[in-house]
């Protein structure tokens, strides 16, 4: 006789990602177990492993989902034709940096960077997720150069320099080091970006 009990529907992937992001931000990936995450979602660990294969893959896919959400906001801010390129660069910087200590999106990045040296899959995934940030900033610098707002120069190199600066400012802020504050990070980034890009 067939089992007449109704089957619990699978959780939407967005719910899995949101729950995983919150759990990783609170406890770190090392303390996250598939069984514990499954319990929060009322799913089996086996079901999660079927879809993701490993904790590393879950981490990578959760980061990809998180960045896709922010990417929509970034594209909207950069496409705003009512704002000049300096204002849109400021919006980019603000979106890039963490909200503050424990920012869930940035805790995911810290976890990925920490595990990437041992995983070619994570390194490749990281590059893929970072690529739109680089491409959008290069396009903005190209536009600013073409309109005379920015001094001529290699856009890809300058974009990479700005993003390296932002990463360096972001990590201490995300992990809550003393005397790190978002307004100061934004100010430092804006000042240095201005030095790199401003016309004489």
- CATH classification at residue 130: 1.10.357.10
Q: Is 110 inside a domain boundary?
A: yes
Q: List, for the chain, all residue ranges whose pLDDT scores fall below the cut of 50.
A: 1-10
Q: What does the H/E/C string look like for 83-98?
A: CCHHHHHHHHHHHHCC
Q: Is 134 inside a domain boundary?
A: yes
* DSSP-assigned letters across all residues of 84-153: -HHHHHHHHHHHHS-SSTT-HHHHHHHHHHHHGGG-HHHHHHHHHHHHHHHHHHHHHHHHHHHTTSB--S
Q: Is 78 inside a domain boundary?
A: yes
The total domain count for the chain is 1
Rounded-to-integer distance, Cα 141 and Cα 151, Å: 9
Q: Is 156 inside a domain boundary?
A: yes
Position 1 scores a pLDDT of: 41
Position 4 scores a pLDDT of: 45
Q: Is 13 inside a domain boundary?
A: no
Residue range of the domain that includes 141:
64-197
Q: Is 40 inside a domain boundary?
A: no
Q: Is 49 inside a domain boundary?
A: no
Position 200 scores a pLDDT of: 58
Q: Is 174 inside a domain boundary?
A: yes
SS3 150: strand
Q: Which residues contact 68 (CB under 8 A, 6 or more apart)?
A: none
pTM score of the predicted model:
0.86
């Amino acid at each position: 006789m067939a089992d007449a009990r109704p089957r619990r529907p699978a959780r939407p992937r967005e719910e899995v990602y949101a729950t995983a992001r919150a759990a990783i931000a609170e406890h770190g990936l090392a303390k996250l177990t598939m069984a514990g995450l499954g319990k929060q979602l009322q799913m089996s660990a086996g079901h999660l492993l079927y879809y993701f294969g490993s904790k590393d893959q879950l981490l990578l896919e959760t980061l990809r989902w998180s960045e896709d959400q922010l990417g929509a906001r970034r594209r909207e801010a950069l496409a705003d034709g009512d704002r000049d390129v300096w204002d849109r660069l400021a919006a980019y910087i603000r979106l890039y940096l963490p909200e503050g200590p424990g920012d869930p999106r940035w805790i995911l990045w810290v976890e990925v960077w920490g595990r990437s040296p041992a995983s070619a899959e994570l390194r490749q995934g990281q590059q893929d997720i970072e690529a739109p940030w680089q491409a959008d900033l290069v396009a903005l610098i190209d536009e600013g150069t073409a309109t005379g707002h920015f001094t001529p120069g290699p856009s890809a190199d300058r974009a990479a320099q700005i993003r390296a600066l932002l990463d360096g400012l972001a990590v201490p802020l995300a992990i809550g080091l003393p005397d790190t504050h978002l307004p100061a990070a934004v100010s430092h980034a804006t000042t240095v970006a201005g030095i790199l890009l401003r016309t004489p």
